[in-house]
C-alpha cells in the first residue's frame, strides 16, 4: 500500500509526534504531505484538521493522519467533510478495525496518551489493513447524510 499519498497534520500538542511519524512513514516508502503546523507554537486544531480532511475529500491524498492531544478534536472536525470517515485510535487493533470494518480514510491519534512506538504500530496497522467490504459496505454506505 506504499503507492498511496498520505496527508498528515496536527496541532501543537501533536507536533512532535507528527514529525516523528512523518519521518517514519517516509522512510517506509510512503508519500507524505505535511499540512502543518511547522512548529510547536500554539495553534487551533480545526485549521489543520480541515486541511487534511479537505485533501482526502478532494482526492489529493487517499488517506490522512491527524494528531492532537486527545485525538477527539481533530476527529470531530475531519468528520464534518463529505466522504471523510475519521476514526480515533489509541491501539493498533482499533486502527485495523477502523479500516477493515468502517473504511476509515483518516486516522486520529491522541498524542498525550500514546507513545511514539504505539503511534508507529497504529500507523502500520492502519496502513496495512484494507476494507473488507461485504456486509460492512452496506453499513458504511449508510453513514453519509444528504
CATH topology of domain 5-141: Ribose 5-phosphate Isomerase B; Chain: A, (3.40.1400)
User: Which pLDDT score is estimated for 146?
Assistant: 66
Cell of 63: 488517506
Domain boundaries defined on the chain: 5-141
- The one catalytic residue in 12, 50, 81, 101 is 101
User: Which pLDDT score is estimated for 135?
Assistant: 78
pLDDT digits (tens, 9 = 90+) for 105-129: 999 999 999 999 999 999 999 999 9
Per the annotation, the verdict on 101 as an active-site residue is yes
Q: Are strands 86-88 and 31-34 parallel, antiparallel or unpaired?
A: unpaired
Please give the radius of gyration of the chain, using alpha carbons only, rounded to the nearest integer: 14
Q: Assess contact for 51 and 65: CB atoms under 8 A.
A: no
User: Which pLDDT score is estimated for 133?
Assistant: 73
In the predicted model, residues of the chain with pLDDT beneath 50 are: none
Pick from 70, 78, 79, 76: nearest CA to 109: 70
Per the annotation, the verdict on 81 as an active-site residue is no
Rounded to whole angstroms, how far apart are CA atoms 131 and 103? Answer: 5
User: Which pLDDT score is estimated for 142?
Assistant: 77
pTM comes to 0.95
pLDDT digits (tens, 9 = 90+) for 68-82: 999 999 999 999 999
- The one catalytic residue in 22, 68, 75, 108 is 68
Amino acid at each position: 500500500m506504499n503507492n498511496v499519498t498520505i496527508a498528515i497534520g496536527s496541532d501543537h500538542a501533536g507536533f512532535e509526534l507528527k514529525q516523528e511519524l512523518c519521518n517514519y512513514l517516509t522512510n517506509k516508502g510512503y508519500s507524505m504531505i505535511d499540512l502543518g503546523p511547522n512548529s510547536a507554537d500554539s495553534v487551533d486544531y480545526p485549521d489543520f484538521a480541515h486541511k487534511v480532511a479537505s485533501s482526502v475529500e478532494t482526492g489529493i491524498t487517499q488517506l490522512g493522519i491527524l494528531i492532537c492531544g486527545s485525538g477527539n478534536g481533530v476527529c470531530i472536525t475531519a468528520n464534518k467533510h463529505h466522504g471523510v470517515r475519521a476514526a480515533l485510535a489509541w491501539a493498533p487493533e482499533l486502527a485495523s478495525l477502523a479500516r477493515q470494518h468502517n473504511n476509515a480514510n483518516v486516522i486520529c491519534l491522541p498524542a498525550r496518551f500514546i507513545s511514539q512506538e504505539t503511534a508507529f504500530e497504529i500507523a502500520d496497522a492502519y496502513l496495512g489493513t484494507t476494507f473488507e467490504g461485504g456486509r460492512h459496505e452496506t453499513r458504511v454506505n449508510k453513514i453519509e447524510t444528504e
